[in-house]
Amino acid sequence: MNPLFISNIYEERRNKLSASFSHGIALFLSNNESPANYPANTYRYRQDSNFLYFFGLSIPNIVGVIDFERNRSLLFGDDYEIDDIIWMGNQPKLMNLAVEIKVDEVRPYKELASFIKNKPVHFTPPYRSENRIELARLLNRSIDELSPSIELIKKIVSLREIKSYEEIVQLEEACEIGVKMHTIVMKYCKPGITERELYGLAEGIALGMGNGTSFPIILSQNGQTLHNHEHNLILEKGRLLVMDAGAENVMNYCSDYTRTLPVSGTFTKQQKEIYEIVYQANIAAIANCKPGIQNIENHKIAVTVLTEGLQKIGLMKGNMEESVALGAHALFMPHGLGHQIGLDVHDMEDLGENFVGYDDTIKRSEIFGWGALRMAKMLIPGHVITVEPGIYFIPHLIDIWKKEKKFEAFINYDKVETYKNFGGIRIEDDVLITKDGHRVLGTHLPKSVVEIESILKP
């Protein structure tokens, strides 16, 4: 265990959670091994982040319980058998692990069902099928009748979203790995190499320095396809390469960066124009990050900069304020400005996006583009968010909107047509909200046109 975390940290977190509940128990199921193509061939093990936050152990087949009424915490699980130890080497005893994280009691797994019987049970939304099956069994309900606790969700969000000093150290480490992933791709990006080779280099860095990537790497010359996980193309002169990738450090904290590179080493005039707009949007939104600001304001700043820029080069037109409010810019940036980041790259997304990014003061918009914003609510010190504006020319979306004559007052479709082979540009950084403002995490990763072109020069 990381020395920073050998302390009362997990006990303190559980106590803070307990302070909001007077009865019942909270049940935290570990994630178990997840098979790829047969039972024993499992994916890289990833513990549930709520389990990590309150119990810190990255091991499968255990359940953590916080008993609110008796103010006790328990682990239900079984030690390895002697036969397992022959194959797996010496394994720590659960009791010793429990002492490290200051859990009061360890009990055999088979006692769990009777322990929770007749107690009000709070649990978070199960996202793995084996945990849905297990919860249904434990609670004697059908799989479709599992009701996660809204009260528990809200309280967990209020705790996990404020990153402590120890956590920020971990996030910085994840950022350094992310920076190295992007740096190696900048070094090898050139016409003729395949997307797959670059992707292998980047993921190799993430695996070699930490716990792998924080999400499947997006690395594509078709950056306009936002959820693109294909890597089959050969890099071509004149095109843009978008890489959206981050790392998980060994303590499971995440980073998330996007950079867009001209394969040729230098941007064309047209690429540079669009790049500058996205860059200015990134800079302006980051500059405005501070406590007391709603993050939807930062989204608004970014899309306003985009709209202004796109008007200047003749792709958009019309009344600026109206254009932004109605979401005409969403043709070019259909996604939101960013999301929280922590033990998950979209932090706490298992608990529900609206509980993480929205609250009683702000509801999610129903307007296309605006509605895609994951993190809208007021920023407070300890929040860590991504800032990731982009401009994309998505042929399919352009065709639909043009046919519908959507926002004709704001979009010059004739000119937009000439950009259909452009691709996309996104620039993303990870930002900590401090008492006085903000701090961009990680070593500076080349970002401006000049910086990008310098690092790509042979």
Pairing of strands 105-107, 72-76: parallel
CB 241 within 8 A of CB 252: no
Among 120, 191, 204, 238, binds a copy of itself (CB under 8 A): 204
Q: Does 226 bind a copy of itself (CB under 8 A)?
A: yes
Size of site (CB under 8 A) for a copy of itself? 62
Binding mask 374-403 for a copy of itself (x = CB under 8 A): --------------------x-xx--x---
**Residue 294 in contact with residue 370, Cβ under 8 Å?**
no
Shortest Å, Cβ 224 to a copy of itself: 8
Binding mask 58-87 for a copy of itself (x = CB under 8 A): ------------------------x--xxx
Among 22, 38, 145, 403, contact with a copy of itself (rule: CB under 8 A):
38
- Binding letters toward a copy of itself, positions 86-125, x by CB under 8 A: xxxxx-----------------------------------
The residue range among 111-119, 158-166, 217-225, 237-245 that interacts with a copy of itself, by the rule CB under 8 A, is 217-225
- Whats the size of the chain, residue-wise? 458
Stretch that binds a copy of itself, among 2-10, 70-78, 226-234, 420-428 (CB under 8 A): 226-234
Dihedral over Cα of 399, 400, 404, 407: its sign: negative
Short-list 238, 231, 186, CA closest to 423:
238
- What are the backbone angles phi and psi of residue 230, rounded to the nearest 5°? -85, 145
Mention every residue, 6+ apart, whose C-beta is less than 8 A from residue 50. Answer: 28, 124, 156, 160, 350, 351
**Which residue from 383, 376, 374 is spatially nearest to 432, judged by alpha carbons?**
383
Choose which of 107, 128, 154, 439 interacts with a copy of itself (CB under 8 A): 128
- 19 burial type by CB count under 10 A (0-12 exposed, 13-18 middle, 19+ buried): exposed
Return the range that interacts with a copy of itself (CB under 8 A); candidates 6-14, 191-199, 312-320, 402-410.
Answer: 191-199
From the list 261, 109, 293, 72, the residue with the least C-alpha distance to 182 is: 261
For the CB of residue 209, give the shortest distance to a copy of itself in the complex, in Å: 7
User: What is the dihedral sign for C-alpha 189, 191, 195, 200?
Assistant: negative
In this chain, which of 11, 79, 100, 130 binds a copy of itself, going by CB under 8 A? 130
Among positions 314-353, residues that touch a copy of itself (CB under 8 A) are: 334, 343-346, 349-350
Coil/strand/helix, residue 367? coil
Of residues 225, 282, 307, 323, which one binds a copy of itself by CB under 8 A?
225
Q: Alpha helices, DSSP H only, in 102-164?
A: 112-116, 129-139, 150-160
**Where on the chain is the footprint of a copy of itself (CB under 8 A)?**
31, 34-44, 46-49, 82, 85-90, 127-130, 132-133, 143, 196-201, 203-209, 215-216, 222, 224-228, 334, 343-346, 349-350, 394, 396-397, 400
